[in-house]
Amino acid sequence: QQQVKQSPQSLIVQKGGISIINCAYENTAFDYFPWYQQFPGKGPALLIAIRPDVSEKKEGRFTISFNKSAKQFSLHIMDSQPGDSATYFCAASMMQGNLIFGKGTKLSVKP
C-alpha cells in the first residue's frame, strides 16, 4: 500500500513530441505528489508538484494531471527537447511523512 508504481521504465520520444509518464498509488492518505528530474551524474531535483485538491498543474512545458478517483497521476512534457533527456521519478507522501518514490522512467528525446 506504500508503493508508487511508475510506467514506462523507459521512453523514447522525437524532438517536439509529447512525453507522458504515468504513476499509480494505493494509499489514499497520500496528499502530496512531486516529480523529480535526474540528469546523469547529478542528484534528483524537484521539477513540479501537485496536491490532490487540483486536477492539473502546469509549469512551462511540464504539466501534472491528477485523477484522485483513479489514484493516478501523470507527467506530460510538451514540445519535448533533447535537453529533457533524463530520468524522471514520481513520488508521494503524507503529511509529516517521507517521500515514496517510483522506480523511475528514463526519457530519451531524439533530435
| Interface region with other proteins, contact rule CB under 8 A, candidates 11-19, 31-39, 67-75, 77-85 | 31-39
The number of CA neighbours under 13 Å toward the Cβ of 36 is 17
The correct pick among 19, 64, 89, 107 for binding other proteins (CB under 8 A) is 89
Q: Pick one of 33, 62, 66, 73: the residue that binds other proteins (CB under 8 A).
A: 33
Query: For other proteins, how many residues bind (rule: CB under 8 A)?
Result: 24
Can you tell me the distance from the alpha carbon of 5 to that of 109, in angstroms, rounded to the nearest whole number?
23
Residue 96 interacts with other proteins (CB under 8 A): yes or no: yes
Cell numbers at residue 110, please?
531524439
d(CA 3, CA 86): 22
From first CA to last CA, the distance across the chain in angstroms is: 39
**Binding residues for other proteins (CB under 8 A):** 32-34, 36, 41-46, 49, 87, 89, 91, 93-99, 101, 103-104
